[in-house]
Structure 1
Amino acid sequence: MPKARRSTADAAHTAEPPPRPRKAAATSPAQQALHKLGLVRDIDLALHLPLRYEDETRITAIASAREGEAVQIEGTVTASQVQLHPRRQLLVTLQDASGSCELRFFSFYPSHHKTMGVGARLRARGEVRGGFWGRQMLHPVVRSADVELPAALTPVYPTVAQLPQAYLRRAIATALARVQLPETLAPGLPPPPMAFHGRNGHQSAWTLRDALLFLHRPAPDVALATLEDHSHPAWQRLKAEELLAQQLSQHAARRERAQLAAPVLRPAAQAPALHEQLLAALPFALTAAQRRVCQEIAGDLALSRPMHRLLQGDVGSGKTVVAALAACICIDAGWQCALMAPTEILAEQHFSKLIGWLRPLLGERGQGVAWLAGGQKKRERASMLEAIADGTAALVVGTHAVIQEQVQFARLGLAVIDEQHRFGVAQRLALRKKLDHLGQEPHMLMMSATPIPRTLAMSYYADLDVSTIDELPPGRTPVVTRLIADSRKDELIERLATQVAAGRQAYWVCPLIEESEALDLSNATATHAELSEALPDMRVGLLHSRMPAAEKRTVMEEFKSGRMHVLVSTTVIEVGVDVPNASLMVIEHAERFGLSQLHQLRGRVGRGAAASACVLLYSTGDSGRLGETARERLKAMQETNDGFEIARRDLDIRGPGEFLGARQSGDALLRFADLAGDTGLLDWAREVAPLMLEQYPELAAQHIERWMGSKSDYLKA
């Protein structure tokens, strides 16, 4: 007889005792799974809260159980047999005074047949189904009826493979009994803006221990809705503590940074200053918003503590020229500036712009601009490294290559990171350490074309100064956005041909490079072949990330010069590409893209005087309808071109974790608090954090360590 898998009930009975999570070595699969979930310290386990609860505190009469309801029944086994047809299964009939219910198991051990034999008194929990032969449960959790009923709801925790619920429950119970939870909210601090009602019905403060014990094992008479929507006072206590820990860690990071030394960057005394020369040479005037943020940045650079500023602005708002002016102040003061971009195409765009603006001015001073990228030839790279090390390269532009160990700056005064959310914490820290040899920190200017909504900035960027370019330069043509089903693709190709015949250029963006068996999506190589055949008199190019760097440069030069009419591309052209003659953007399978990514892609057109359009070509798939999230994204794109409104809607749709790219950015994201619904608690935490750091520094440090652990390290970047 083949060996069947153990049932949930069997697993619950045979789980090994939980480990002491403070041990360093993880040996068993369950211990390794605990470490995978980050459950290392007792406090980690204590803060690992249930997803939901099961009520095992009461018994429901079988006749009273409604179909589709999850209940617990108790009775005597009146029949138990293994049935072989139509498939092997164990059938057990459980009877109480009101009726009977059949328990059906498709996976079981021979020992289960024995323990669930005729005459056994059992308790079964599961969903009741109606059938031709009466009530039944499929694979219920079964226990002996001799076991005492629990006094609290049974928690169901988030878990991973190799970590059974029973094992996790025992590990958490052990940690709760052992963990030290001294009070960190000092009586002298303003209390959170809600009443923490005690269990006795009177108004009294819930301690953290009270809240955690209650949430892990709530009383059966609690209103489940208050646990599910996190409105219960115990939840409020946890959310207040979490928000306070986040604000404390960010204020502490700001204070720590204020103690560090940075070069004082002011324009040279001799006139005219380099940034004034650049302003005079530019073929356009700065907007009022650009002038304002330039003043904010210049004020920071003139201080002896490191600037840590986020420059945000919509697509096409002119962040690059602001960065160039900041670089001029840095270079004028006798220091070097580094600009790092996430992709080679974006870095090259910056490089070509900055070369055009700054090379003539720097050449008069005997200085130059260096370029660093992964695909450089050895001789060219060696020459660039030498210029950076001896200081003749006043400005260094590149990709991740800028932070490699062999890159040694003579005097790095300012580091500019474009699309900062695409770089990991370690990468940003590596750039900061390029000035260690002088015992100082470079100033940091991080740029983002994804505007940060106010509540998110208040919470996740409390350690940063934020500058916002909130107006677009004159002459930007509004882009009309249209939604078109992929069944009308042929009509769209005809329209594209008309646009190109009128002297315009077009992008066609696809989500994949080559055909995927897993995803039935249009791919760039197939679309390139299709458009080349449909438009025989026009040049259709192909661009994707797997192409050699030299080939990508050639394709982009052909498109920018106008010799190429249509560019089929993946999202490699999402940011930085500036071709004013391109007036049509087609995004195929638009329902698969994120909202900020769609907005970035749309920003590639509308950069010239011609009327421009962005077509979101969507597919409904076999279902014939779009999913709710995809429909919300496409609707937002059609209704607004405002990047700040796009960002707000993106936050509503995705939540802060995905919006910020938690996995890549290293942000210590909120697990319990909700920025949309807990603004009162956030305002309280922002008020209390600086007071607590000033008046109760030891309690503040204890609070940060309890909630953040090593996660607060990301603020250093």
Structure 2
Amino acid sequence: MAAEDQNACAETLPPPAAATGSSRKKAAVKTAANQHDTKSTAKNNTSKASEKLARLGLRKDMDFALHLPMRYEDETVVTSMHDAGFRGGSNVQIEGVITESDVQYRPRRQLVVTIADDSGQVVLRFLNFYGSQIKQLAVGIRIRARGELRHGFLGAEMVHPTYKIVVEGAPLPTVLTPVYHSAEGVPQALLRKAISNALLRIQWRDTLSASRLAALGLQSFEASVRTLHNPPPDIDQHSLIEREHPAWERMKFDELLAQQLSLKRAQITRRSKGASALPIVGELSNAFLLNLPFSLTGAQEKVLAEIRADLREQFPMQRLLQGDVGSGKTIVAALAAAQAIDNGFQAAMMAPTEILAEQHFKKIATWLEPLGVKTAWLTGSLKKKEKDLANALISSGEAQLVIGTHALIQDSVQFKKLGLVIVDEQHRFGVSQRLNLANKAEAGKVPHQLMMSATPIPRTLAMTYFADLEVSVIDELPPGRTPIVTRVIDQNRREEVIARVHAATQEGKQVYWVCPLIEESETLQLQTATDTHAMLAAALPDIQVGLVHGRLKPAEKQAVMEDFIQHRSQLLVATTVIEVGVDVPNASLMVIEHAERFGLSQLHQLRGRVGRGAAASACLLLYQGPLGGTARQRLAIMRESNDGFEIARKDLELRGPGEFLGARQSGEAMLRFANLDTDQWLVEKARNLACELLSNDPLTVAAHLERWLGNREEFLRV
């Protein structure tokens, strides 16, 4: 009998007959103490497990029910070692007895375990392991292991397989094994048990009626959840794994419906709040249009009419203005600001970077100040005296148009009569930042809001993530824009590229050379902006080479950019700080270093810095080979298309909505189950039902949102 078993038995035996009363009392106290310690330990373990599960967002029973498998493993079959050897590169399950187990130190510390059956053997290799695993995986122990089989120096092997200790003849599962998203210290076994227990406790009810489910062709909620956590033996495994099974369709629909309901409800809530109507299109607006040296495009006129109609309403405008690079969004925004000023209100424009904010300020001030509009400029880099002056102009109402960065949302900034908020590159701001600016209107009023994005958003994505917004699209470029020719070039041809840069500057043109990093990185080993600047300055001594990056002080950045704008420098080496807002019509050539490291949207934004004048323009994408599949796709798309909407659609396919929208800055909860590429038909159905429920069935709306969002509905757009 094991020592711990002997002790356990001894504690339950009665004391010897000769024992004194005192000794009996001591024994009883000791037994009670041990029992208390056991209960205390169990309680602590349960508490720790609960804390770890809570970090995954699993607190209520319904949280566990909706923590659906991210994939499934087929543990219903054991493959012999001999047959497994012919299946290199695939996931298999094997079973055998450990014949060797030891810690090796070449080339690094690792636990190497050999298991064998009657047909052969396989090596299991663990590069990260605990001391307890060495004891678990001892010679003579029978285990089942599952993982990707590959062929190493010692024959067939698995690296970091999942495994469990079994007895000979132990039955195999009859269904697929769910695998859940987890975290450190939360094993799959714990998750499976917690989910199973939660499913037993839930009082099941469907948020959608049987008639609605029949009309939509959906199955019940309970049946769907149970199927996904415990798929029956006869299930179509392909449809389950590919998330095409009716159980998955129900989950996707419910998730999309919750999103549509929450966003539409946010829209209704905002519309119930008062906003100051801005009906007058007066002297300033008319003079602005008359003084423009060009005519608006048809697309600009269309979206301007939509915005003007919104501004006339007594509920706040909430409109997203999107358009490709160079489509003329800034002019439309300036005309919206002019309408606010015509009605005696202030307008504020916020941009994510100082360079972009400054470009807007210089351009819009040039248009409006000659017409008598007082403008103010506010950024974090201003000196205290300058900030105090700007704040005084804003609070007194003397400044009719205010342009700046995040500095606009500081507590010290107080508007006298804010009627319109314009947010450029809106996806770069968090929800709370946009809310802080909107809250600077008069008490009890909400300002009209116009958000702009130069990253066109595909229709299905807009329907899903921007369901609470009205969307305007400028789908036409101003006349006279020449298409940008894009070439993909191996960095080994760098000398040819430098020669082309020199030739362009000798013709009086200007050039951007974009680099992704500022200083050396051992992991990425990319050419840096500072090194590239030094190299180009040495290679091209007869031209002026500027350098701008995010770590320069604002005054230094401004000086470098001014030199380039005024043609005092011909070549500008830059990081992605020039991605948006920089407008130098004479710049007609761009070189992007290590283009394979950039995303599609960013490449398109950068390329948009050229092609703004009459001269033919080109963008050279320098890449470091060999290229991975995704990088190759991105560069091919850039070479083949200048259409921002087509590029955005391809970008969504490659990256998915979470990354496409940018670092989750949008404030929306990303979809866990629905795939906008394959589930567009569900988006339309969810959208239609959301409108119907909000009009006719508030109880169902509340129940559905409670189930899917709980108290997390704070992600609603502001």
Instruction: State the TM-score, normalized to the length of structure 1.
Output: 0.87
Which residue does 1:657 correspond to in 2? 658
Q: Which residues in structure 2 correspond to 1:3-402 (within 5 Å)?
A: 28=48, 31-57=50-76, 67-68=86-87, 70=91, 72=93, 80=99, 99=119, 101=121, 141-145=163-167, 149-189=172-212, 191=214, 193-194=216-217, 196=218, 206-267=219-280, 273-363=283-373, 368-402=374-408
Write the letter of the residue equivalent to 1:248: L
- What is the SS of the residue equivalent to 2:520? coil
Q: Per-residue CA shift, 1:67-110, capped at 9, x if unaligned?
A: 436555667x5x75655788896767665xx6565675765758
By how many angstroms is 1:51 displaced?
A: 2.5
Q: Classify 1:361/1:157 alpha carbon distance in 2 versus 1 (closer, same or farther; 3 Å).
A: same
Q: Is the CA contact (8 Å cut-off) linking 1:261 and 1:304 kept in structure 2?
A: yes
Provide the rounded CA distance (Å) in 2 between the counterparts of 1:113 and 1:713. Answer: 48
Write the letter of the residue equivalent to 2:430: G
Q: Classify 1:639/1:695 alpha carbon distance in 2 versus 1 (closer, same or farther; 3 Å).
A: same
- What is the SS of the residue equivalent to 1:345? helix
Provide the rounded CA distance (Å) in 2 between the counterparts of 1:634 and 1:677. Answer: 24
By how many angstroms is 1:631 displaced?
A: 1.1
By how many angstroms is 1:407 displaced?
A: 0.8
Which residue does 2:29 correspond to in 1? none
Write the letter of the residue equivalent to 2:366: G
Which residue does 2:621 correspond to in 1? 616
Q: Per-residue CA shift, 1:545-568, capped at 9, x if unaligned?
A: 110111111111111111111111
Q: Is the CA contact (8 Å cut-off) linking 1:67 and 1:130 kept in structure 2?
A: no
- What is the SS of the residue equivalent to 1:274? helix
Which residue does 1:7 correspond to in 2? none
Check if 1:685 corresponds to 2:686: yes
Q: Is the CA contact (8 Å cut-off) linking 1:251 and 1:462 kept in structure 2?
A: yes
Provide the rounded CA distance (Å) in 2 between the counterparts of 1:330 and 1:133. Answer: 76
Provide the rounded CA distance (Å) in 2 between the counterparts of 1:481 and 1:133. Answer: 49
- What is the SS of the residue equivalent to 2:376? strand
Write the letter of the residue equivalent to 1:369: T
By how many angstroms is 1:148 displaced?
A: 5.6
Moved more, 80-89 or 422-431: 80-89
Moved more, 125-134 or 670-679: 125-134
Provide the rounded CA distance (Å) in 2 between the counterparts of 1:491 and 1:128. Answer: 46
Q: 1:537 aligns with which of 542, 545, 550?
A: 542
Check if 1:594 corresponds to 2:607: no
- What is the aligned length? 671
Q: Is the CA contact (8 Å cut-off) linking 2:101 and 2:139 kept in structure 1?
A: no
Q: Is the CA contact (8 Å cut-off) linking 1:369 and 1:396 kept in structure 2?
A: yes
Provide the rounded CA distance (Å) in 1 between the counterparts of 2:523 and 2:447. Answer: 46
Write the letter of the residue equivalent to 2:665: Q
Q: Is the CA contact (8 Å cut-off) linking 2:104 and 2:112 kept in structure 1?
A: no
By how many angstroms is 1:170 displaced?
A: 2.1
Q: Is the CA contact (8 Å cut-off) linking 1:340 and 1:400 kept in structure 2?
A: yes
Write the letter of the residue equivalent to 1:143: I
Which residue does 2:671 correspond to in 1? 670
Provide the rounded CA distance (Å) in 2 between the counterparts of 1:529 and 1:691. Answer: 63
Q: Is the CA contact (8 Å cut-off) linking 1:267 and 1:273 kept in structure 2?
A: no
Provide the rounded CA distance (Å) in 2 between the counterparts of 1:177 and 1:669. Answer: 29
Check if 1:442 corresponds to 2:455: no
Q: Is the CA contact (8 Å cut-off) linking 1:583 and 1:605 kept in structure 2?
A: yes
Q: Classify 1:440/1:19 alpha carbon distance in 2 versus 1 (closer, same or farther; 3 Å).
A: farther
Write the letter of the residue equivalent to 1:38: G
Provide the rounded CA distance (Å) in 2 between the counterparts of 1:211 and 1:578. Answer: 54
Provide the rounded CA distance (Å) in 2 between the counterparts of 1:479 and 1:59. Answer: 58
Provide the rounded CA distance (Å) in 1 between the counterparts of 2:546 and 2:575. Answer: 12
Q: Is the CA contact (8 Å cut-off) linking 1:244 and 1:689 kept in structure 2?
A: yes
Q: 1:424 aligns with which of 430, 437, 449?
A: 430
By how many angstroms is 1:673 displaced?
A: 1.1
Unmatched segments (≥5 aa) in structure 2: 1-38
Tell me the C-alpha RMSD between the 2 structures.
3.0
Provide the rounded CA distance (Å) in 1 between the counterparts of 2:194 and 2:660. Answer: 33
By how many angstroms is 1:133 displaced?
A: 9.8
Q: Which residues in structure 2 correspond to 1:483-494 (within 5 Å)?
A: 483-494=488-499
Which residue does 2:20 correspond to in 1? none
By how many angstroms is 1:63 displaced?
A: 6.4
Q: Is the CA contact (8 Å cut-off) linking 2:350 and 2:424 kept in structure 1?
A: yes
Provide the rounded CA distance (Å) in 1 between the counterparts of 2:421 and 2:47. Answer: 44
Which residue does 1:515 correspond to in 2? 520
- What is the SS of the residue equivalent to 2:467? coil
Q: Per-residue CA shift, 1:104-139, capped at 9, x if unaligned?
A: 576575897689665x77655566678999988776
Unmatched segments (≥5 aa) in structure 1: 1-15, 197-205
Write the letter of the residue equivalent to 2:72: Y
Q: Classify 1:539/1:184 alpha carbon distance in 2 versus 1 (closer, same or farther; 3 Å).
A: same
Provide the rounded CA distance (Å) in 2 between the counterparts of 1:333 and 1:114. Answer: 77
Which residue does 2:583 correspond to in 1? 578
Q: Per-residue CA shift, 1:409-458, capped at 9, x if unaligned?
A: 111110000010111111111111112x4201111100011111111112
